[in-house]
A and B are shown apart, each in its own frame.
Chain A
């Protein structure tokens, strides 16, 4: 059940820690499979399998350069995940902006007194 979901949902796809590590590497810049294999304690077939899943959910894109295939993160596809944390950040921004404003009010009152 979980296996079927990994190929359709980016959230499930990156629940796998190794795939998050691969994404972390690709966020730094475009890389061929060989560089990912060199950076992680994983075999090439495993890396290729993870890349396939990441491509299927649209988190990663690839292009050919000569004999090599280069992989990169598709930032637009990461947007829903950005939104996930952004909503939490928004809540805290609203709350702490109110605190900020309240502190100004308190400080202004102190000056008056």
Chain B
């Protein structure tokens, strides 16, 4: 474990976007490799209780990817998409469909910026509608909850200050 454990942040920059940010003490090259090579991905993408049982990556523009994890309780979950832009090791754009919500395709842009041995990974998930974006977050959660907080980060700060 490292001091960066639990340091990923999620923001909602607009009604249709999700932005996930995390820093790693590793070069961008290695991170890109771990993110895109099917030899590596199954080692971290699934979880102990949700192992990855399929990882197909055709890393070319127009090439497809598909991930499947399995869960004792709920069965199999799949995601797939098509690579749109590949600029090793700094940028990867692909579509993503969670197979449980086949109509809600998102466009995911992963950027890796390395400085002084630290690489900042930003994953921007762009949905076509706010409903799809919220559905993406709510997948597996109670249905019918629809919120959008453009400034949730501010609220989180308020909460942290007032609840703690």
Contacts and interface: CB of A to CB of B under 8 A. Distances in A.
A102 B162 contact: no
B47 interface: yes
A83 B63 CA distance: 36
Given A92-B8, A97-B6, A14 B147 contact: yes
Q: How many A residues are at the interface, by size bracket? A: 35 or more
A75 B157 CA distance: 10
Q: How many B residues are at the interface, by size bracket? A: 35 or more
Given A97-B5, A100-B2, A104-B2, A79 B163 contact: yes
Contacts, number: 123
A85 to B, nearest CB: 6
A73 B148 CA distance: 16
Interface string A81-113: 110110111001111111111111011000000
A35 interface: no
A78 B163 CA distance: 11
Interface of B: 1-2, 4-10, 12, 18, 20, 22, 24-26, 30-31, 34-35, 40, 43-45, 47, 121, 137-138, 141, 144-152, 154-156, 158-159, 161-163
